[in-house]
Structure 1
């Protein structure tokens, strides 16, 4: 499982997701999250937890969206990746909605939509890499 092909696929998914998510979180949606979450936001994010997410989530996308879809076309892989992102982000956001006082409903929908999108795009890039690499 550690062939250069798999490493290339993982890093493609990792980089695409990280870059798109940083633009989303730091440029596009930063104000939405700050306004919606207000006092719930930490002054200083837990970078270890963030790093764990950004290293583990692409692995899940690779396994379920690319490796288990090895014979599928790119569009099917994108759909599987989007579904994976939908369910993962829905689990997070709906759990927060259920247990955190004043968790914003609008943010729940926005974040689930974002997770669906970024996961689908990242898996699409990973699947293209998988199909391109002949290793």
Structure 2
């Protein structure tokens, strides 16, 4: 398996496990309480496209540069920034344009986006460093 597929698999497993725990066990009630009237049924294809694009973005913008720099701290900090940036794009746009969008959901999502992306990048780079994947 080439390096891209190995790194993608590690990042995908990490991100998806964390995000499903978040979405299904931790934040589900919060979303229902604060934006429940705005929620519709989950559409699988757009979700799959998002996860695929986001994971490729994580690899391109954070993981590969961190591996090249051999810098785990870079992976974590750049991952946190990318997560806040991307989740902020969604949540802050919603806050600006959707009448009943929740400010609390926006703040929590920004924190979550930073955390889940930083963690995914950190774990992926840590494993790549451990196995000396350059």
The normalised TM-score by structure 2 is: 0.93
Provide the aligned length of Structure 1 versus Structure 2.
132
User: Greater shift after overlay, 89-98 or 61-70?
Assistant: 61-70
Q: Give the alignment of 1:1-135 within 5 angstroms.
A: 4-42=2-40, 44-69=41-66, 70-134=68-132
Relative contact order (alpha carbons < 8 A, sep ≥ 6): 1 or 2 greater?
1
The Cα shift of 1:59 comes to: 0.8
Q: Is the contact made by 1:5 and 1:134 (CA closer than 8 Å) also made in structure 2?
A: no
* Structure 1 consecutive aligned stretches of length 4 or more whose deviation exceeds 3 Å: none
Q: Which runs of 5+ in 1 are unaligned?
A: none
RMSD: 1.2
How does the TM-score come out when normalised to structure 1? Answer: 0.92
